[in-house]
Amino acid sequence: MQTAYPVHDIRRLEEAAIAADPRHDLMQAAAGALAAVVAGELVERRGAVYGARVLLLIGGGNNGGDALFAGALLARRGVAVRALPVLGTPHPAGLAALRRAGGRILEPLAVDEQAETVPQGCDLAVDGVLGIGGRPGLPDRVAAVLDRLNDLRVPIVAVDLPSGVDADTGAVPGAAVTAAVTVSFGAAKPCQLIEPARSRCGRVVDVDLGFGHDDRLTRISALDEDDLARDWPYPGVTSSKYTRGVVGIDAGSDSYPGAGILAAHGAVYAGAGMVRFHGAEESRRVLTGALPNIVYGDGRVQAMLYGSGWGDRPDGADVIAHGLETGLPAVVDADGLQRLPAGGLSPEWLITPHAGELARLLGCDRGEVESDPVGAAHRGADRTHATVLLKGATQVVARPGRRSVLIAVPGPAWTAQAGSGDVLAGICATLLAAGVPAARAGALGASLQAVTAAEFPGPVPPHRLAEHAATVLGRLGQRAAGAADREGSRS
């Protein structure tokens, strides 16, 4: 699990670290780590540090200061370092250090000439334009320099974060750096975990600056495959179909029978103890042949799924309202999302909108949701009083009244297809039925789907993906058992 903090919390951590040890010079520590990463890249890419040519892009804040001090260290190792001030007034002490070490400061040129300043034969560029003090987007003259570097195929090492991205939301609304490597100081920023900024970071090197922890911080925690393997509710030797969980599925309609079938596939292959299908007649006919283990009619269930493929079902709102009265946890997906009770749901319920559906719930534009998925998921949770799994390039789980969020393991773009959401809803309902709390169920379900999809080289229909999830779970279960054994033999 990797945890990022919003910029205002990183500033608090920074202040606390300085107060705890005023003699610890954070900028020198950052610059030393940055120089070491750049040196490693130079060795990797051209065999040696000595004799390399490095261009520093310098902004007017401490991000540029980091780059200048790192440049000074590199110059002392025989690197030809040139600094190009592109924004504001460069850090004075950093400039002086670079000059003393033999680096050159290029004249900030006129707007249309700046791109020409990029020297031919440059081995690597360091992006010290903007860090956590930056607003998203870069002026045209900086974008022109980046285009030139791109044309010359010069790799960029970003200082703290790629300049131009929105550090807190992960949005990339204008020109921004695309880094080969990002050297991130003190704590991870949300842009390292949220698309599209995440893809701009390249390889991320986290540099420990001795920041402490604080329970008041907002945490943006991204699951990895180890978390998925460890936290999945595998059955034990004493498990029964009831401890594994009985999932009730009320999904599909005569117009959209496939949604019910796909949701049932998701539930069965994610390991439900039993699946009880309450959906449309049309779905039942196919399901009986495809999954003969499904049962029909009323009876005990431990979690419900409502809404996938309902279309304009007239009694949908009543079905959800009745479900809420039972006190059982549930997933509400797709068409069910337009039929939520005015009084809201419960945090034990998981709603699974994509950006368009959440925008409709919030009465805003889809673009607003996509440009700040974490903020939008929070608003969705507060508005509906339910736990929200916002689907998309970055899948975010938010709980009502809480600022911290979970982010699922990222998956390949191929999962964005009709039917994926139905399968995912079935997987999540299975987790609820097994007793997993709603937030974890959303994050684990979305992660399982992503990890499964990553095992296919190209497009795969959602029902095949659901089937393969069972194989992935088997492998993850063995890995978790192995990790637990190793842990046990150590203690």
Ligand X SMILES: NC(=O)C1=CN([C@@H]2O[C@H](COP(=O)(O)OP(=O)(O)OC[C@H]3O[C@@H](n4cnc5c(N)ncnc54)[C@H](OP(=O)(O)O)[C@@H]3O)[C@@H](O)[C@H]2O)[C@@H](O)CC1
Is 135 a known ligand-binding residue?
A: yes
Residue 10 interacting with ligand X (CB under 6 A): yes
The residue at minimum Cβ distance from ligand X is 131
Is 372 a known ligand-binding residue?
A: no
Residue 132 interacting with ligand X (CB under 6 A): yes
State the minimum distance, in angstroms, from the CB of residue 91 to ligand X: 8
Q: Tell me how many degrees the CA angle 266-244-306 measures, rounded to the nearest 5.
A: 45
Nearest to K ion of 4, 158 (CB atom): 158
Residue 172 interacting with K ion (CB under 5 A): no
Show contacts with ligand X in window 54-73 (CB under 6 A).
59-63, 66
State the minimum distance, in angstroms, from the CB of residue 128 to K ion: 6
Contacted by 132, from ligand X, K ion, none: CB < 5 to 8 Å by type: ligand X
Residue 223 interacting with ligand X (CB under 6 A): no
Pick from 133, 341, 344, 437 the residue near ligand X by CB under 6 A.
133
Contacted by 433, from ligand X, K ion, none: CB < 5 to 8 Å by type: none
State the minimum distance, in angstroms, from the CB of residue 112 to K ion: 24
Pick from 159, 217, 381, 472 the residue near K ion by CB under 5 A.
159
Residue 204 interacting with K ion (CB under 5 A): no
Residue 168 interacting with ligand X (CB under 6 A): no
Nearest to ligand X of 26, 409 (CB atom): 26
| Per-residue mark of binding to ligand X, 415-454 (x: CB under 6 A) | ----------------------------------------
**Which residues participate in the annotated binding site?**
62-66, 127, 131-137, 160, 163, 259, 309, 354, 421-422
**Which residues participate in the annotated binding site for (6S)-NADPHX?**
62-66, 131-137, 160, 259, 309, 354, 422
Residues in the site for K ion, rule: CB under 5 A? 127, 158-159, 163
Residues in the site for ligand X, rule: CB under 6 A? 10, 14, 26-27, 30, 59-63, 66, 87-88, 130-135, 137, 139, 159-160, 185-186, 209
